[in-house]
Amino acid sequence: METQSRGGLKNDGLQAALRRFPDKPLRIRQLMLGSESFRGLCEDLALAERALATIDTFEADVREERRREFEELIVSLADELNQFLT
């Protein structure tokens, strides 16, 4: 269940993108306004980062596998975002 409004997720997504690409704030803000696909990737990145930050609350028998999955997802999302930014 989603606990944040869509606006909250957009802001989290914006912050995630700005952390990941601090040298491209203007382009990120432009894309956030004009590209639903970019916004969605940013929101997904924020959610994946949040999940990774709480990985220690996962069951011990799945923790490391999930950590790897979230880390790989974050790298993949960052690569996709970078394609928009270049």
pLDDT tens, residue by residue, 15-62: 999 999 999 999 999 999 999 999 999 999 999 999 999 999 989 999
Give the structural domain span for 63: 6-85
Whether 26 is in a domain gets the answer yes
Look at the chain and report how many structural domains it folds into.
1
Whether 18 is in a domain gets the answer yes
Decide: 81 and 38 in contact? Cβ < 8 Å: yes
Whether 1 is in a domain gets the answer no
Whether 12 is in a domain gets the answer yes
Spatial distance between the Cα atoms of 83 and 47, rounded to a whole number of angstroms: 20
Q: Give the pLDDT confidence score for residue 58 in this predicted structure.
A: 87
Spatial distance between the Cα atoms of 51 and 65, rounded to a whole number of angstroms: 13
pTM: 0.84
Whether 73 is in a domain gets the answer yes
Whether 41 is in a domain gets the answer yes
Whether 79 is in a domain gets the answer yes
